[in-house]
Amino acid sequence: MSAIKVEKLVVRRGNNAVLKGISFTVAKGEVFALLGGNGAGKSTTLLTLLGFLPVDSGEASILGESVAQQPAAARQRIAYLPESANLYDHLDAYENLRYLLALSGLQPSRADMDAALDRVKLQPEARLRPLAAYSKGMRQKTAIALALLRQAPVLLLDEPTSGLDPVAIDEFNGLLKSLAATGCAVLLVTHDLYGACQVANRIALLRDGSLQGEFHAVNGETIDIKQVMASFSSVEAV
């Protein structure tokens, strides 16, 4: 069974069909990147998988649970990193994790939280500081630690590397790969072609609500950025 399955999905927002019949699947252990420009429908795809937008026609499911028919069951299997992580500025990292995990009925120990924060490499001396003093990269790390502690089998990420410096992006991509290696299905939406090629097993191009092409990594190599770029420019030229 696919971890994420989307079939002929149509989603309207206002009077417009924003997703115009897209289909894709993401398997356990795979990083799939949806690449597209502003307004292509990337965030709409994620919000639909989370059950926050009504499905007009077609199907979307998470580990077999339909997002339209069983939105709560589907959402329970998802960890979601929105464009800007919605963490609490006046709380420190532990307090954020404790509070946000309590919303999912979880009570992590300090050791569990430290293990997750170690894994994302958030400096120990920062952990007791309010997040108001954190950089964007530190916030992303805290948000990923939250996703790790939720142990959700499906991870959705919206532009996770925007605003991160190259070192932080490399670290972040490494973390995503290690998460996928533990069996997590990762769906990433981005306009960062370079980053997508580094981290994804597969990339699909989303343009104006339709999928335009798909690229696969072969034999554990990364996806050839030139090939994707050539396809992107031919699409743009149409």
Ligand X SMILES: Nc1ncnc2c1ncn2[C@@H]1O[C@H](COP(=O)(O)OP(=O)(O)OP(=O)(O)O)[C@@H](O)[C@H]1O
Q: How far is the CB of 205 from ligand X (least distance, A)?
A: 12
Site string for ligand X, 163-202 (x = CB under 6 A): ----------------------------x-----------
Contact in structure between 103 and 138 (CB atoms under 8 Å): no
Task: Read off the tokens for 128.
Answer: 């007791």
For ligand X, the closer of residues 39 and 183 by Cβ is 39
CB of 93 to ligand X, least distance (A): 27
Nearer to ligand X, 122 or 196 (CB): 196
Residue 108 near ligand X by CB under 6 A: no
Between CA 205 and CA 211 the distance in angstroms is 6
Spatial CA neighbour of 175 closest among 206, 202, 205, 137: 137
d(CA 183, CA 229): 29
Residue of 2, 25, 43, 76 interacting with Mg ion (CB under 5 A) = 43
Residue found by looking up tokens 């309010």 in the block: 130
- Based on CB atoms, which residue is closest to ligand X, 63 or 164? 164
DSSP-derived letter for residue 211 is E
**Position closest to Mg ion via CB:** 43
**In the chain, which ranges are E strands?**
4-13, 16-26, 31-35, 57-62, 65-66, 78-81, 154-158, 185-190, 202-207, 210-216
Q: Which stretch binds ligand X (CB under 6 A): 11-19, 25-33, 101-109, 175-183?
A: 11-19
8 Å CB contact between 61 and 25: no
What tokens were used for 185? Answer: 């299905």
String marking each residue 13-42 x if it binds Mg ion according to CB under 5 A = -----------------------------x
String of contacts with ligand X for each residue 18-57, x by CB under 6 A: x-----------------x-xxxxxxx-------------
Nearer to ligand X, 149 or 206 (CB): 206
* Nearby residues of 232 by Cβ (< 8 Å), 6 or more positions away: 35, 193, 205
Helix (H, G, I), strand (E, B) or coil at 197: helix
Chain residues that interact with ligand X, rule: CB under 6 A: 13-14, 18, 36, 38-44, 191
Chain residues that interact with Mg ion, rule: CB under 5 A: 42-43
